[in-house]
Amino acid sequence: MSVGTRQLGALARLSVLELYRRKDLIVVFLLSAVILLPLAFFAPFGMTGASRYLNELGLLLVWLFSIVIGLGVSVRLFPPEFESRTIYPLLAKPVARETVLFGKYLGALAASVSALACFYLAYMLLIGVRQGVWCPLILAQAFVLHAGFLVMITALGLLGSLVMTTSANLTLCGLATVGMLTFGQRLPALIEAQPAPGRWVLQAIHWIGPHFEFFDLRQRVVHDWPPVGWGVLAGVTVYAVCYAAACLGLAGWVFRRKRF
């Protein structure tokens, strides 16, 4: 194993340990159980057998908590190091700045994806026990695309953590994420409906903004739609990797020029 790989591995392991040390996952699971368990026994108008509402709420919680964890981990990668000045001993070691940046990114991504895997496992258990369907193909696709979403959001959070304060970064990334998930699909219609200055802004958002809604397969999972084509899956994954690479490239450029 090369020195660079070992350095990357060590940096990434630190971020993963940080997530599990803070016990965020336990809180999230307890909260989900408190919300979902009473709903699992709900019989509207005395009729049992409805399950999509529970699947939808379960997946909504998975998305919500994955955003919280993904952003929470990535926006805190550098600011605490700058504030406590622990970045100096790190940079004093024979490790390139690009390696530090990429290692921390990999750590944040690994932490977020491992948490996501736990969420999907819990969701799979939920639908398996209730409906007897254990791992439909569409759920596997949903997990892959959701991981792609985390590839993008952690890169975006990391870039933000180098150019603004933690709270500003969290707010902006949170707004961008929720905004895109809510309105991303309707952006073309909104662009058509806007007069000139607003239209240009929306067009810029449409072309440059992160289209997180591409990764949201909740509708297909909940309502039993057929899986998406493999070409489409590959296209969306390539989009996520390219977008994350652009963010990381920009972050690398900022980090190289940053004066501490």
Partner 1 sequence: MRHGLYIGLVVSGAVFAVALGRLIPALSADGLPQVPGENVLALVLGDARQILGDAMLHKADEYFHGGVRDIACEHGLSAQDSHEAHAGHGHEAEEHEGEAGAPCALPGASRDPWVWLNARVHAQEHRHVEGDEARELLPWLWAACRASPKNIEALETSAYVLSRMNNRPVEALELLENGIRKNPESASLEFARGGLLLHTLHDAARAEKAFAEARRKCRPAAGPDGEDDRLLLIRTLFYLGYLAHQRGDRPAAEACLRDAEAVNPKHVVVQNLRNVLQAQ
| CB closer to partner 1 out of 124 and 138 | 138
Nearer to partner 1, 97 or 206 (CB): 206
Among 23, 38, 41, 45, the residue binding partner 1 under the rule CB under 8 A is 45
Kindly tell me which residue out of 38, 46, 89, 132 binds partner 1, with binding defined by CB under 8 A: 46
* Residue 254 lies near partner 1 (rule: CB under 8 A): no
Helices (H), the chain: 3-21, 24-40, 52-74, 79-83, 87-92, 97-131, 137-163, 166-183, 187-193, 196-208, 218-222, 230-257
Instruction: Give least dist CB 117 to partner 1, A.
Output: 22
In this structure, the chain runs to a length of: 260
Q: Does 200 bind partner 1 (CB under 8 A)?
A: no
**Helix 3-21 and helix 52-74, axial crossing angle in degrees, nearest 10:** 120
222 binds partner 1 (CB under 8 A): yes
By CB under 8 A, residue 140 contacts partner 1: no
Report the distance separating Cα 96 and Cα 188, nearest Å. Answer: 43
Query: Rounded distance, CA 48 to CA 194, Å?
Result: 46
212 in contact with partner 1 (CB under 8 A): no
CB 135: neighbour CB atoms within 10 A? 12
- Residue ranges in contact with partner 1 by CB under 8 A: 42, 44-47, 49-53, 145, 184-185, 188, 206-207, 211, 213-217, 219-220, 222-223, 225, 228-229, 232, 235-236, 239
